[in-house]
Chain A
């Protein structure tokens, strides 16, 4: 017991030193301290950071977070097959404890695949090539720069995060009016029509996970009657991880020696991978004419 405790203190002390020393060294080397601070705080305001001293989001460690000014996703449809599309859906819905519901009326989906004519309904024509016609286009919330869903929400339960442009949902504030579902032109939002967790075992097993795997404790649960949608894995970014679906695609690509199907990055950073792809490929966005300015791009 004693040894364990001493060892623990030692490790803690050393890491604390490391944590303190490195930022100090970095701080002396940077030109713009405000930018540096912002980066160190993981995009949170100093006030939020102060709050985190008392109430820290699960798994959040300041300084480790991935930060960007405008997160975006590039979907390389050429690299997507059913298998990878299903893997993306599976991992996303698992890490976010999304209930699996068979009834399509009550279905909850954050990311799914659809055919070209559904993803780009204004662009369909009868002579489109077979390989595009039935290709599985991955779709999700576009994290629009000018999101209609945020504008209409009467409680600010859905909001756009100022520092990185992610459109988030507070499932604990949402009153379930579903105005946002009517407003989103991309069908990105799902509503909890039925109880997502069994009452008697609240918090143990998401009701509809068929593999009976325990829930991911690092993602909050929800109640019935709230809206939910893709959050660009904000909870993972806070820990320095890339979105789960992107990670799956990267691993699959490495195995097969191909390019990844999903690429995630900061649109404001000219050297980011997404910016490079946007420079070298012709890309499409869904319904750009509506002016929501989606941050998900498609290479077809």
Chain B
């Protein structure tokens, strides 16, 4: 089936060439980082995680969101989603690959990465995160590929694949839960030390992921002969609406606890993010922007007439993706580190090389998604036309 990835029109190759170009540039930057150290990033002794881990966190969510398509189809026999499960699974593959790459570029000593397996440490959440992420990557490639092959041959997916599919559903939840536990169990970081972290992560994942999937579906419809379907996109739109509302609701719960209890160790991080602390407020405009975007998206999505209009739905999805990205890919990580444990304020802003490396990892993910989507849509079209 992979041979399908090598036949394509001009636009397909231009897209791949652009992505490869970005990857190349980022790779050169990474070589530089590899040689002189992570000092070329904006991270510091006080803000010791930054953009890389932020993207990682965000993308784990995107990956987990595949379940929002798989679950209704396989558990509730919602037939319409049968058309796009493969797209959701392949998006998850791209997202998890990016997650693993982001971890790798964030390591101070990537050549020692295997130490995590040589000295397995079950008390470390990172150890479990590595297991669930790799497992999820495997599950999605394995399931996606086999189901697609079966479809190509015109037969239903083999029965032995079913257990793997059922397993992939709780597994998707687990990757984002474990990722939330990376943060939620650390003493002395009031911003992250909250039981609602995992639910919040899942809620933001289930709006950001499907929103991205809608956008991908629309691109697929525009650029290939495969149409993911109107109903499918509409249902995804409702999922985004619900999850986004849930996401903001969880955030309000958090705000209430923090500001009503008035405990400084928890409150100061929020004050830094939304109002600035001791004259430092790099992130203030961004955070307000994020919430403005999400609120606008909610308004657009809850009005049925708007949601059913694909143009407006597209806008709402773009707003959702950007809003949640700022909130989770930036504010969530940096906010936890400012102020630091000694209550000093050191700010963070990514540097150019850091941004380029980040961009390159995204490009890699999109390259994987493009190639996989190319295969998937070609097969689907063949089957439809042939049958």
Contact = CB atoms under 8 A, between A and B. Distances in A.
B265 interface: yes
17 contacts: A106-B39, A106-B44, A108-B45, A119-B342, A122-B264, A122-B265, A155-B121, A173-B115, A175-B108, A175-B116, A177-B107, A177-B126, A178-B106, A186-B342, A193-B38, A194-B37, A287-B188
B38 A151 contact: no
Interface string A168-181: 00000111111101
Contact of A195 (B37, B182, B189, B337): B37
B342 A114 contact: yes
B36 interface: yes
Nearest to B187: A290
Given A106-B44, A186-B341, A194-B37, A155 B119 contact: yes
A105 B342 contact: no
A191 B126 contact: no
A61 interface: no
Interface string B295-325: 0000000000000000000000000000000
Contacts of B343: 117-118, 121
A100 to B, nearest CB: 14
A286 to B, nearest CB: 9
A153 B121 contact: yes
A227 B38 CA distance: 12
A225 B37 contact: yes
Most chain A beta-carbon neighbours within 10 Å: one of B113, B125, B186, B340: B186
A250 interface: no
B186 A182 contact: yes
B139 to A, nearest CB: 22
Contacts of B261: none
B188 A178 contact: no
A-B pairs, 10 with minimum CB distance: A176-B108, A185-B188, A225-B108, A105-B44, A193-B39, A194-B39, A224-B37, A121-B343, A118-B342, A290-B187
B151 interface: no
A105 B49 contact: no
B65 interface: no
B124 interface: yes
Nearest to A194: B39
Contacts of A151: 123-124
A182 B334 CA distance: 11
A188 to B, nearest CB: 9
A277 interface: no
B130 interface: yes
Interface in A114-171: 114, 117-119, 121-122, 139, 148, 150-157
A227 B264 CA distance: 29
Contacts of B341: 184-187
B116 A154 contact: yes
B48 interface: yes
Nearest to A117: B343
A154 B121 contact: yes
B182 to A, nearest CB: 7
A107 interface: yes
B109 A176 contact: yes
B112 interface: yes
A226 interface: yes
Contacts of B48: 178, 181-182, 191
- The size bracket of the interface on A is 35 or more
Interface in A275-300: 287, 290-292
B107 A173 contact: no
Contact of B187 (A106, A117, A148): A148
Interface of A: 104-108, 114, 117-119, 121-122, 139, 148, 150-157, 173-179, 181-187, 190-195, 223-227, 287, 290-292
- The size bracket of the interface on B is 35 or more
Most chain A beta-carbon neighbours within 10 Å: one of B115, B116, B123, B337: B115
Interface string B164-196: 000000000000000000110011110000000
Given A152-B124, A156-B119, A175 B188 contact: no
Contacts of A185: 186-189, 341
A172 to B, nearest CB: 9
Contacts of B113: 175
A225 B188 contact: no
Nearest to A224: B37
A173 B116 CA distance: 10
Nearest to A173: B115
A178 B106 CA distance: 9
A168 to B, nearest CB: 15
B361 interface: no
A150 B122 CA distance: 12
B326 interface: no
A153 B119 CA distance: 10
A105 B45 contact: yes
Contact of A174 (B39, B109, B337): B109
Given A121-B343, A148-B186, A192-B108, A182 B45 contact: no
Contacts of B125: 152, 179
A223 B109 contact: yes
A224 B110 CA distance: 11
B127 interface: yes
Contacts of B108: 174-178, 191-192, 224-227
Contacts of A227: 108
Interface in B83-109: 103, 106-109
A105 B347 CA distance: 10
A122 B188 CA distance: 11
B43 interface: yes
Contacts of B103: 177
A182 B126 contact: no
B46 interface: yes
B346 interface: yes
B335 interface: no
Given A121-B342, A175-B107, A182 B37 contact: no
A173 B343 CA distance: 30
B182 A175 contact: no
Contacts of A187: 45-46, 340-342
B115 A175 contact: yes
